[in-house]
Amino acid sequence: MEKETSFGNVLIAQSGGPTMVINQSLVGVVLAAKASPKVKHVYGALHGIQGILDGTLIDLGKESSDTLEKVAVTPSSALGSVRRKPTAEDCAAILKIFHARNIKWFFYIGGNDSAETVKILSEHAAAAQSGVVCFHVPKTIDNDLRENDHTPGFGSAARFVASAVMGDDLDLRALGGVKIDIVMGRNAGFLAAAAALGRVEPDDGPHLIYLPERPFSPDAFVQDVSNIYKRLGRCVVVVSEGISDRDGVPYATKFLKEVDSHGNVQLSGSGALGDALVALLRARARPRIKRMRADTFGYLQRSFPGVASSVDSQEARAVGKAAFEAAASGQYASGSVAIKRLPGETYGVSYEVVPLAKVAKETKSMRDEFITPEGNNVTKAFLDYARPLIGELPVKGYLQAIPADD
Amino acid sequence: MEKETSFGNVLIAQSGGPTMVINQSLVGVVLAAKASPKVKHVYGALHGIQGILDGTLIDLGKESSDTLEKVAVTPSSALGSVRRKPTAEDCAAILKIFHARNIKWFFYIGGNDSAETVKILSEHAAAAQSGVVCFHVPKTIDNDLRENDHTPGFGSAARFVASAVMGDDLDLRALGGVKIDIVMGRNAGFLAAAAALGRVEPDDGPHLIYLPERPFSPDAFVQDVSNIYKRLGRCVVVVSEGISDRDGVPYATKFLKEVDSHGNVQLSGSGALGDALVALLRARARPRIKRMRADTFGYLQRSFPGVASSVDSQEARAVGKAAFEAAASGQYASGSVAIKRLPGETYGVSYEVVPLAKVAKETKSMRDEFITPEGNNVTKAFLDYARPLIGELPVKGYLQAIPADD
């Protein structure tokens, strides 16, 4: 029998905005850890590093398989979440708890800010020679993590957005007019761009897509919408909440004043941007548009149950498993697992360990080849990139609408 | 062989707001009509009675079964829609077209306003001794048609709302705070009430539901939300867009100025009501609530593809078939088909012909027994009533969250 000291415990936590599949990654780590002969206890901290500091740890090893599988298909972060950047004091306190609990492997499921947290913590762990292996497990609906072809959570949110805009375009066909849909994405337009995946026929919406990657011009917006409306009698416009002017100032800051804990203006959870764009069209679009509406998809797009992408679900599970295996291999003191797309015609991915510094803090945006030269739509290259990630969309059918004989 | 004059043609149109299953009813009429030896042509008018007046008729008999079945599962009105009340001149013009086209049976799929249109038209048809049988086929996500236990379209919209709020409650558990979700329903609160169907555990949201059936008190609202937030650290609030003061003035009129063609303030397609309620809480809730968000579900709740209720889909198809059979039976000059619930433990319905006057124009609201005495939630009686209508909701699971041993 191995000595007690050769065993270690695992601690897992979740951080940042929830996704539909973040619990798949949680369960991926838990099941791999439970199956490992190196692991004694599998703990979870509630609400990220806050839970470690508060001592609210739970024993994930005591959860039944049935519970874990139900949790895996449940949207949002089952362990709760937090947005908190650890101070040096926090790190010292956390390492003390790791030592007391014999935690040898720490997993933090989150986006770029969470990767930054793991990086800071791993640097303190190395300096203290604690031997704790710190891993970041990627997730974000924004799809903006560097080193990753795409991120767990994006495919499902993209499937929601594509479905929603498909339905919205069908709705607008019935009664005409202009519809503006505001989609999440502070700095990266991937999710807004995904709205185009629901198009089947040439006139299907969304007809215009405005992204944070291109400066937003109210003049061009009014002209673009007017042109489409004149031609089709309707226009579905998708707008990323992060659209900004040439100086990078978010357009929404003209109407919003709430600031979050990072000093960023709170873009989500308000309908103000959509309402302001409707007001802009009302004042300036000619000919006048009779019927205008704006919907802000808000939190539905990241936590709606029952619409997760099958591909995204599988990959989110796999990335959790891959993170545990890499951490337990003994080859790394820290790292993040990145999703890489395999070359070739058939879609496939591999999971690779990358240094935390390469995914932490900074994010990536849509590549130029994904955006049309006019900056108000996406290209076939984007559709080819994104389509394999969202699974099958619901079928839609149109009447042939053959005119009645006279 | 029967004489040509013993045959007749069918005309179908759709009116009012779309639903996820209104095309099931369309296809229900079309398939029954195509199968009838009495019918020669099955026509559709684009955009309701506007299409009859404009002469934009299509030949639905030429649509393939494959197309029809795809259209049946596609949200929104495949024939297009309109909101238009016919004048006496309109009716005369329509009857002239009916005569020229040998139309013997007219079907109009819509809500109470559409039933009123059919009633007006049928009175003109009777006065002119045209012999045209005019039928209304029910649909509305608002569930407010009289004579009907429930209406086609409600179950699917209710399934969307219940799923969305289930996801939103899970999302809010992760980061805490207050979330306000604005749901459609100008005069009836059924759809807002349906948010409660996603509850499983005692603390699951929605924690508060405000309905148009009870006067909205900003004071009570602030107090209710503060109480729940103090107890749970979070509060999911569902608010019907139609909440009104004691005099029946919609609360949203304080922030909205757009008026539709019926002179009603346009409640949907704006985030203003949700944003105003957040501002109210920010000003007055004590203790202060750190994180507040509002989402307005908007048009997603009536036209989202892939989340239709199976029960609702079947009933919407059946009600179209029943309307054709009643009209073709020769027993009625006009009518509407109403869904009645069969007595007994097991859920079941029948389809009955009712006079147009009984469903046209006026609507119904939530019964008193469906609303709690405090007026800020729904009762078990409502849940028992509504649960069979929405089909199976997605599974959700919670961790047991057994504290780690010391």
Per-residue CA distances from B341 to A300, B141, B154, B346 (Å): 33, 18, 15, 10
Using CA of residue A295, residue A301, residue A306, residue A312, what is the dihedral sign? positive
Residues on chain B touching A305 (C-beta within 8 angstroms): 163, 166-167, 170, 393-394, 396
Q: Is B69 exposed, middle or buried (0-12, 13-18, 19+ CB in 10 A)?
A: middle
Which residue in chain A has the smallest CA separation from B27?
A: A399
- Please report the residues numbered 342 through 361 in chain B whose beta carbons come closer than 8 angstroms to any beta carbon of chain A: none
Cα-atom radius of gyration of chain B, to the nearest Å? 23
pLDDT digits (tens, 9 = 90+) for A179-204: 999 999 989 999 999 999 999 999 99
The string of pLDDT tens digits covering residues A3-58 is 445 689 999 999 999 999 999 999 999 999 999 999 999 999 999 999 999 999 99
- Positive or negative, the CA dihedral B128, B129, B132, B136 is positive
Tell whether A14 lies on the interface with B, counting CB pairs under 8 A: yes
Can you give the pLDDT of all 406 residues of chain A as single tens digits? 344 456 899 999 999 999 999 999 999 999 999 999 999 999 999 999 999 999 999 999 999 999 999 999 999 999 999 999 999 999 999 999 999 999 999 999 999 999 999 999 999 999 999 999 999 999 999 999 999 999 999 999 999 999 999 999 999 999 999 999 999 998 999 999 999 999 999 999 999 999 999 999 999 999 999 999 999 999 999 999 999 999 988 888 877 666 555 556 666 677 889 989 999 999 999 889 999 999 999 999 999 999 999 999 999 999 999 999 999 999 999 999 999 999 999 999 999 999 999 999 999 999 999 999 999 999 999 999 999 999 999 999 999 999 999 8
One digit per residue, the tens of pLDDT, for chain B of length 406 reads 344 456 899 999 999 999 999 999 999 999 999 999 999 999 999 999 999 999 999 999 999 999 999 999 999 999 999 999 999 999 999 999 999 999 999 999 999 999 999 999 999 999 999 999 999 999 999 999 999 999 999 999 999 999 999 999 999 999 999 999 999 998 999 999 999 999 999 999 999 999 999 999 999 999 999 999 999 999 999 999 999 999 988 888 877 666 555 556 666 677 889 989 999 999 999 889 999 999 999 999 999 999 999 999 999 999 999 999 999 999 999 999 999 999 999 999 999 999 999 999 999 999 999 999 999 999 999 999 999 999 999 999 999 999 999 8
Query: Which residue of the set A59, A66, A113, A142 is catalytic?
Result: A142
Within 8 A of B179 by CB-CB distance, chain A residues are 269, 299
CA atoms within 13 A on the CB side of B193: 33
Q: Does A299 touch chain B (CB under 8 A)?
A: yes
> Which chain B positions have a beta carbon within 8 Å of A62's beta carbon?
400, 402
Q: Do B43 and A302 touch (CB under 8 A)?
A: no
ipTM: 0.95
User: What pLDDT score was predicted for residue B263?
Assistant: 58
Catalytic residue flag (residue A171): no
* Beta pairing partners, B57: B45
Give per-residue pLDDT as tens, B264-322: 666 667 788 998 999 999 999 988 999 999 999 999 999 999 999 999 999 999 999 99
List, for residues B63-74, the tens digit of each pLDDT value: 999 999 999 999
Please spell the DSSP secondary structure of B236-267, one letter per residue: EEEEETT-B-TTS-BGGGGT---B-TTS-B--
Q: Which residues of B are catalytic?
A: 142
Cβ neighbours of B78 in A, within 8 Å: 398-399
pTM across the whole model: 0.96
A15/B contact by beta carbon, under 8 A? no
Residue A79 is which amino acid? L
Residue with tokens 């899970």: B170
* Pure H helices in B36-189: 48-54, 65-72, 88-100, 112-127, 154-175
From the list B18, B101, B269, the residue facing A295 with the nearest CB is B269
Q: Considering only CB atoms, which chain A residues are within 8 Å of B174?
A: 14, 18, 76-77, 80-81
CA–CA distance from A99 to each of A3, A10, A118, A224, A341 (Å)?
A: 18, 12, 17, 60, 38
Is B271 part of the contact surface with chain A (CB cutoff 8 Å)? yes
